[in-house]
Each structure stands twice: as structure tokens, then as C-alpha cells.
Structure 1
């Protein structure tokens, strides 16, 4: 424990959440312990257990803390801009989690996957997919998208490519690469 100024409230909570992600990256979910998180946050275990009875609850709150609110429907009136905004939101979410969530999801152990999956699915991935699908349907109504391309399956292509890149390369797409994904892969797939 640090001998400096004692942190309380929001400062301590932020340090604990940061420690959760650092520990997830370092040891994975299976080996994640309240002791390890406390040491990383330079606080005592009691500070953790007073608020979170289990690591599942702590990880859930840490994810909710860093994940943005579900994205609203962009409805810019242009499919390209809608898709780019939504995929940027998804990419930025992965950056906010520092890849820790995906590391847990690709671990061999099933432990932790349920917690991570549920929070990420309800907070980001399902809303992004729903908004992407809505944008495709609206684009089809405006004549920007082939009617047979306005499907949930096609709405999954962009997010799948972002997650694949993160899982296999461990790299997040930059703005130019994300724009290229939209312009060179998705828009040609959607064109009438």
C-alpha cells in the first residue's frame, strides 16, 4: 500500500478499475484475484471487498465504467457516415477496455466469459449491431443499399472484422484503416 496521500471516492475507484484491466491483461480472468487487483491499485483488499463481494461484480462494474453508453442511431442520412460512426464507437470501446475483455473472451477457460460477454453484448455489441442494421434498412429505403444487403448478417461484417483484427493482431484499427474498411469492403458490399 502506498504511503502517500490516501485516495478516496472517485480517485480510488478509478485506480481500482485501472488495476482490473492491468491485471486482466497481465494474468487473464482465471488468475485474476482480488489480492492482485488490490496490489496493482496500491490499496488494501478490504477496500475492494467493502464494495464488491466478488471479482465478477468488480469486473462488471469496471467494464460499465469504461464502456460508453449504447450508441444512439446516428441517422446522418448517409449509410457511409452512419456505418463509420458506429464502427468507430465499437473500435473505441475495444480501446477503452485495452483489449482485456477480448483476451478473456479468447482464453481457453470458460470462467469470466459469461460476465464479459453479457456486459459487452448488452452495452455495446448488440446496440451497435441493431443500429447498423437500422442504417442498412434506412439506406435501402433511400436507394443507397441493395435491398437484399439490408440484413443482420451483413450488419455483422464490419464488427466481425474489427474484432478479428483485435483478436489476431492485437492491434486496433486507426481512423484511416477504419475508413478503408468502410469504403473498400463494406460500401462495395452494400451498393445497389
Structure 2
């Protein structure tokens, strides 16, 4: 049998990583177990993903890529609720367990902290919120605002906090409270702008 290379080998490694994450969780994931499952060696994996955290996040993106198009329900509040409910469903899966496990490890593992920060910095969630707010402005639902990046990231930050602190994604009542009491007021108190900007 010919040796697997390039994309075929990468897919086998990521598939094996995802299977192991689903079976045993992030805390018990090892490079050795992934290598055995994928039929390769640890050095091969290590050349592509130097740390376990980077490998786990790559497998997460491979198996469950982040959504880039936000919901469009016709209203700011219902768009935000729909987006956060979708995130909550994802965080209730292996996706959420990986992020929660990594968040716990960041206190003692600088490599996990770096990988997680890089992942969160590149998340599409802030862009989704900016799109939702832009649509609300275009509908005349709210005044034009300059959306700070921290406000754009707020829904995902709060969702992650719930998962890390309580070990599970928030329910519908908590999501509603977050949107009504925190996210929408933060958006409405953003600086006024002649045209919507995020950042």
C-alpha cells in the first residue's frame, strides 16, 4: 500500500483526532493515541501541529467549521438570540468540550493559552455581530454606530464564560437575559457614527 501524503494524511490525522476527542475528551487526548489511530507516527504529527492544543483546534475546524453567515430574522434582538442559540448548540457538542477543556488548561499550559487566543482572535463571531448590527442600522431599527471590537465579541465571550464556569452552555432563559440585559445595551451605547464600523 502506498504511503499517504499531503491532504490524505492530514485528513486521516484530523479524523483520528476528532474521533478520540469524541471518545475521551480533550484532557485525555495524546499525540501517541492520535498517531496509533491514524496509522502514522508522532514526529509526523508534531511537524504539522507542534502542540496538542493546535492539533485539537485543527480537528475542531476540520470536523465542524465555524459558520460565517449570521441569521437574518428581520430584527436585531431575534437575530442575536438565534445566533447565540446556535452557538449554544455547538458548545453542547465536542466543539464545546474542546474549548472548555483548553480554557481550563490555559492556566498551566502556555502553549494551550497561545493556541486558544489565536483561535479566538480569528473567530468569525465578531463579524457576525457586526453584520447583524449593520442590517439593523440599514433597516432603521437603530442609529448608526461605530461598533467596538470588544462589543462585537461580547456574545461569544459571554457564552464561553458560561461553558467554562458552569461546565455547560447556557439555556434559553440565560441567553435571553444576556441579549436583553448586556449585548443590546452595549450595542446601543456604542459611539454614534455616520456609517457602521467595527473595530
Could you say which TM-score interval applies, normalised by the shorter chain?
A: 0.5 to 0.7
> What RMSD, in angstroms, separates the aligned Cα atoms of the two structures?
3.6
Please state how far the C-alpha of 1:19 moved relative to its aligned partner. 1.1
Q: Which residue of 1 aligns with 2:182?
A: 185
Please state how far the C-alpha of 1:99 moved relative to its aligned partner. 2.2
- Are the counterparts in 1 of residues 70 and 128 from structure 2 also a CA contact under 8 Å? yes
Give CA-to-partner distance per residue, 1:35-66, whole Å, 9 cap, x none.
3446xxxxx3561439x622646424421233
- Are the counterparts in 1 of residues 137 and 143 from structure 2 also a CA contact under 8 Å? yes
Q: Which residue of 1 aligns with 2:112?
A: 112
Give CA-to-partner distance per residue, 1:76-98, whole Å, 9 cap, x none.
33111221232233333323324
Extract unaligned runs of 5+ from structure 1.
1-9, 39-43
Cα separation, 1, equivalents of 2:14 and 2:104? 27
Inter-CA distance 88–71: structure 2 relative to 1 (3 Å threshold)? farther
- Are the counterparts in 2 of residues 90 and 128 from structure 1 also a CA contact under 8 Å? no
Q: Which residue of 1 aligns with 2:8?
A: none
Q: How many pairs were matched up?
A: 172
Q: Which residue of 2 aligns with 1:88?
A: 85
Q: Which of 44, 60, 66 pairs up with 2:63?
A: 66
- Are the counterparts in 1 of residues 27 and 101 from structure 2 also a CA contact under 8 Å? no
Normalised by the size of structure 2, how large is the TM-score? 0.64
Cα separation, 2, equivalents of 1:46 and 1:25? 17
Q: Which residue of 1 aligns with 2:19?
A: 18
Extract unaligned runs of 5+ from structure 2.
1-10, 190-199
5 Å matches for 1:1-192? 16-20=17-21, 22-27=23-28, 32-37=29-34, 44=36, 47-49=39-41, 53-54=45-46, 56=51, 58-96=55-93, 97-107=95-105, 108-119=108-119, 121-122=121-122, 125=123, 127-148=124-145, 150-190=147-187
Cα separation, 1, equivalents of 2:167 and 2:180? 23
SS in 2 for 1:87: helix
SS in 2 for 1:76: coil
